[in-house]
A and B are shown apart, each in its own frame.
Chain A
């Protein structure tokens, strides 16, 4: 999720059909510069070296949980005729991605890149703050969907819940004080003051901080090999 505003200008983006380090390359319609979809950096063209601002989003969540928390949400609708030939072509392309996700290869183009610290296709939550990168393997959230940690000395809460598939990263400082969180139930956590927080909306629902909202931080869900390839200096969270 990126801002389309850069240095006072507004850009729109398309799919270049190219891959760099085996991930999607976007282009902007205004200058046709090429941009990495993983880092938000322009890798070729007039804007080479510029970085798009990364914004916080819910990278993946089931529709039921999203809707329950945000009943007024709008939903993307693509008015296409399902019998249109172009859809068939898209579905063929989708199939090639499906094979990729199912197989052990790390590159769509059949190349291999490996960082043996985790399995190539272990899914991780990637967090970047200032110059520090840290990966939180999905497997670390087994019994405890809430992790209290620090990255670049910023106290953060990393949340990943298997049932709703929701992932969120928050700054766990509230009113100048870093709080410690423990999982309560579903997507709710309780802090050291006994306040209950909804980790989908970031809002405190009961207790001392009721009505306060945690600050969302950007993160990305992706395969370990891809995270490690773009950020070889990354550390891995260990319990």
Chain B
């Protein structure tokens, strides 16, 4: 452990820590969607669901593990889905 890292040990936990570079985990900026019939998801697969103005999007949590953020528009509402 370097001296810098030691200096950052702060048990209030309010230090911002760097684990990976920016975009080391790639967020999704232009999400693509398929209809429910084409989705390759098992019945028990966990999803996050949103429903705005009669339009619904589902995001597989397994996929979100690799991206963490989806920049999306649902029912005209601009949203960031985060996991």
Contact = CB atoms under 8 A, between A and B. Distances in A.
Nearest to A10: B78
A49 B58 CA distance: 31
Contacts of B46: 60-63, 165
A16 B24 CA distance: 8
B45 to A, nearest CB: 4
Contacts of B66: 78, 87, 90-91, 93-94
B79 to A, nearest CB: 6
Interface size range of chain B in the complex? 35 or more
Interface in A64-116: 64, 66-67, 70-79, 87, 90-91, 93-94, 97, 107-109, 111-113
Q: Is the interface of A mostly helix, strand, loop or mixed?
A: mixed
The interface centre, meaning the residue of A26, A74, A165 with most chain B CB atoms within 10 A of its CB, is A74
A188 to B, nearest CB: 17
B48 to A, nearest CB: 6
A150 interface: no
Given A15-B22, A75-B60, A94-B65, 12 more contacts: A1-B50, A14-B22, A17-B22, A18-B17, A19-B19, A20-B14, A63-B44, A63-B45, A70-B51, A78-B67, A90-B25, A111-B11
Interface of B: 11, 13-29, 31-36, 38-39, 41-52, 55-61, 63, 65-71, 77-82
22 contacts: A1-B82, A5-B78, A13-B82, A15-B26, A19-B16, A37-B82, A43-B16, A55-B79, A58-B49, A59-B48, A62-B46, A63-B43, A63-B47, A66-B58, A71-B36, A74-B35, A76-B57, A76-B63, A77-B34, A77-B39, A94-B65, A229-B13
